[in-house]
Amino acid sequence: MNEYFFDTFALVEINRGNPSYLKYKTSKFVTTLLNLMEFYNVLLREFDLVRSSSEFDFYLGGCVEITPEVIKEAVEFRIRINRNSKFRISYVDAIGYVISQALGIKFLTGDEAFRNIENVEFVK
């Protein structure tokens, strides 16, 4: 079974039942608390507190630590990408991408900013 880093876009689309993301629903995954924060924000706008909390808790077990080294590398990556692209990568996304690379797993997203970046599983 493949393992992926689920960015916020992926978490939201999996939760919404997007057919393009169905095959990832049972995948092994990692994410960060920052991604879960963004995800929880979307959940609370779309669902009740009980469901939102349940979904948040489900993904909590896949959270990995954000180290100082990851933060430095993510900021450098973000500056490099944003300098050469019409799209802007957020700090949360940059952190997730750097973590995925350190773990040797694909970064799962539908964010256009990542469409042509190496080791990204781009799904709309």
What's the pLDDT tens digit per position in 81-102?
999 889 999 999 999 999 999 9
Please give the pLDDT value at position 8.
Answer: 98
Please give the pLDDT value at position 15.
Answer: 96
Kind plus residue range of the DSSP H or E element containing 91: helix 91-103
Nearest to 103 by CA among 26, 36, 32: 32
120-122 vs 3-6, strand pairing mode: unpaired
Residues 53, 10, 24: CA angle, nearest 5 degrees: 100
Q: What mean pLDDT is predicted for residues 106-120?
A: 97
Please give the pLDDT value at position 84.
Answer: 87
Q: Is the pLDDT of residue 1 over 80?
A: no
Q: Is the pLDDT of residue 12 over 90?
A: yes
User: How do the domains of the chain map onto residue ranges?
Assistant: 3-122
Please give the pLDDT value at position 46.
Answer: 96
pLDDT in tens, 24-35: 999 999 999 999
Q: Report the top-level CATH class of 3-122.
A: alpha beta
pLDDT in tens, 35-49: 999 999 999 999 999
Q: Is the pLDDT of residue 21 over 80?
A: yes
Q: What mean pLDDT is predicted for residues 6-26?
A: 97
